[in-house]
């Protein structure tokens, strides 16, 4: 007997959650991704700054699902979707149920030409590129300073890092860069002082971490500034090129520009010719199905969904809200859609509309400082850092990854050193540490 075919596009948090929740269901699951691994993106910046290696925050998809018999993995890129067919670059895959969990990409607001100058942090390849840029900037500054008649302006440019966007990624990158230059690299160079590096963080809104309560945002900014980060709010970057950025009509020379002010959804809405919001997310119904396509679902960053919110005790605590683009909504939506499919297969009615269990937000702002908004409790400092560390360790896939990351954090804290400091040859393609044939 031919089993109903469930196709899941995307191996991120949402796709992984949906596929896992279909374990043992009377379906044939096909998970499609252009990469062969699941990436724990909340810790990607630690790979970009040399604290962790790529394989410590990622897991091959085939390994993750090696014990699930009703799933197959396809490594390919989706080019379009028709009724009953997913088009891939190397063929077509039929489906009875389709789950789109295709994620996001950084939004350059109509200036895609900035992408080659201002790297965004989306993948392991991006983290390798960014780490190379950061380390190479210090090396070039050292080389210039060792030569007589070196131009101080160019050395200063090499040691200037401009970060665009004061959200979680920007704050975490800025604090890590500041501590890296002022604590971990100070003994390694002979002609430059890494502590003199300028870390500039630009935020277009009135405060950094805008989704957090104002008091936590203010305290996070104070802590960043105590680390030496220069924070500029209500400040928009209007141009980016090889020499730096333009801010408020003024040129700011910077050899390294990192981008993170906003994201847009994938092309999934275009594949379906469905109604989308300004960010390209598909406007879905209360059960996450695409209008007029009851067996096609969009979840995570692919979906525009306004849903009820409940607190840690399951009590509805606020009016319905637009689901944020973080891991928890994607995980919960993936499980919910798997339940919808199970019910449809058994002839039962669809479940009640999706509601979001809001567990709060966490952001790290240094070696032992974080801010935590758990809705029922808001706090900062080392206690918040402990909660942040515990949550992130818990959600890593695999005991080995949890153990290795814990050990690396401990060693880095005690020795004040970063383990991943090897530079690839300039211009060479950086290989992922995960075997693409796995």
Q: How many Cα atoms occupy the beta-carbon half-sphere of 123 within 13 Å?
A: 15
Structure confidence at residue 426 as a pLDDT band (50, 70, 90): low
368 vs 298, which has greater pLDDT? 298
Q: What is the mean pLDDT of residues 99-122?
A: 91
Cβ contacts of 319 within 8 Å, gap of 6 or more: 309
pLDDT (tens digit per residue) in 314-365: 677 768 899 998 899 999 999 999 999 999 999 999 899 999 999 889 999 9
Q: What is the mean pLDDT of residues 145-158?
A: 88
Catalytic residue selected from 172, 179, 184, 361:
172
Structure confidence at residue 419 as a pLDDT band (50, 70, 90): low
Q: What is the mean pLDDT of residues 213-218?
A: 96
Structure confidence at residue 437 as a pLDDT band (50, 70, 90): very low
Q: What is the mean pLDDT of residues 117-138?
A: 92
Does the pLDDT value for residue 12 go beyond 70?
yes
pLDDT (tens digit per residue) in 33-91: 999 999 999 999 999 998 888 889 999 999 999 999 999 999 999 999 998 999 999 99
Q: Note the pLDDT of residue 51.
A: 87
Q: Note the pLDDT of residue 420.
A: 61
pLDDT (tens digit per residue) in 287-300: 999 999 999 999 99
Percent residues over pLDDT 70 in the chain: 95
Q: Note the pLDDT of residue 434.
A: 38
Mean pLDDT of the residues in the chain: 90
Exposure string of 241-273, with b = 16+ CB inside 10 Å and e = fewer, is eeebbebeeeebebbbbbbbbebbbbbbbebbe
Q: Note the pLDDT of residue 315.
A: 74
Q: Note the pLDDT of residue 307.
A: 94
Q: What is the mean pLDDT of residues 11-39?
A: 96
Percent residues over pLDDT 90 in the chain: 72
Beta bridge partners of 309: 318, 356
Cβ contacts of 261 within 8 Å, gap of 6 or more: 107, 164, 165, 167, 170, 203, 204, 237
- Expressed in angstroms, the distance from the first to the final Cα of the chain is 31
Q: What is the mean pLDDT of residues 182-202?
A: 93
Q: Note the pLDDT of residue 142.
A: 94
Residue 172 falls in the annotated catalytic set:
yes
Structure confidence at residue 428 as a pLDDT band (50, 70, 90): very low
Q: What is the mean pLDDT of residues 219-232?
A: 96
Does the pLDDT value for residue 140 go beyond 50?
yes
């Amino acid at each position: 007997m031919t089993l109903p075919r469930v196709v899941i596009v995307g191996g991120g948090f949402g796709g992984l959650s949906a596929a896992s929740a279909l374990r043992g269901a009377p379906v044939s699951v096909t998970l499609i991704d252009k990469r062969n691994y699941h990436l724990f993106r909340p810790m990607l910046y630690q790979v970009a700054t040399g604290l962790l290696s790529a394989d410590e925050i990622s897991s091959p998809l085939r390994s993750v699902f090696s014990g699930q018999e009703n799933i197959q993995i396809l490594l390919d890129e989706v080019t379009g979707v028709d009724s009953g067919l997913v088009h891939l670059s190397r063929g077509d895959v039929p489906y009875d149920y389709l789950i789109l969990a295709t994620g996001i990409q950084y939004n350059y607001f109509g200036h895609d030409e900035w992408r080659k100058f201002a790297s965004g942090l989306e993948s392991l390849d991006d983290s390798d590129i960014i780490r190379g840029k950061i380390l190479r900037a210090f090396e070039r500054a050292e080389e210039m300073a060792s030569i007589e008649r070196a131009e101080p302006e160019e050395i200063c440019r090499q040691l200037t890092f401009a970060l665009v966007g004061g959200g979680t990624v920007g704050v975490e990158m800025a604090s890590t860069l500041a501590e890296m230059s002022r604590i971990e690299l100070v003994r390694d160079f002979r002609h430059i002082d890494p502590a003199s590096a300028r870390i500039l963080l630009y935020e277009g809104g009135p405060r950094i971490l805008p989704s957090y309560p104002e008091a936590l945002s203010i305290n996070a900014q104070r802590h960043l500034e105590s680390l030496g980060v220069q924070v500029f709010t209500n400040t928009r970057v209007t141009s980016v090129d090889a020499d730096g950025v333009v801010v408020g009509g003024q040129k700011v020379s910077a050899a390294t520009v990192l981008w993170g002010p906003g994201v847009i959804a994938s092309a999934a809405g275009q594949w379906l010719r469905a109604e989308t919001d300004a960010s390209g997310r598909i406007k879905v119904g209360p059960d996450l199905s695409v209008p007029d396509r009851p067996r096609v679902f969009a979840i995570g960053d692919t979906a525009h969904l306004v849903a009820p919110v409940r607190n840690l005790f399951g009590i509805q605590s606020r009016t319905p809200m637009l689901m944020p683009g973080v891991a928890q909504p994607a995980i919960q939506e993936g499980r919910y859609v798997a339940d919808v499919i199970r019910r449809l297969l058994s002839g039962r009615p669809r479940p009640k509309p999706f509601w979001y269990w809001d567990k709060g937000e966490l952001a790290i702002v240094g070696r032992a400082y974080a801010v935590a908004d758990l809705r029922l409790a808001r706090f900062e400092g080392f206690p918040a850092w402990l909660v942040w560390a515990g949550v992130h360790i818990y959600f890593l896939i695999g005991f080995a990854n949890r153990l290795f990351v814990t050990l690396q954090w401990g060693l880095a804290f005690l020795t004040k050193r970063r383990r991943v400091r090897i530079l690839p040859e300039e211009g060479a393609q950086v290989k992922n540490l995960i075997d693409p044939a796995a």
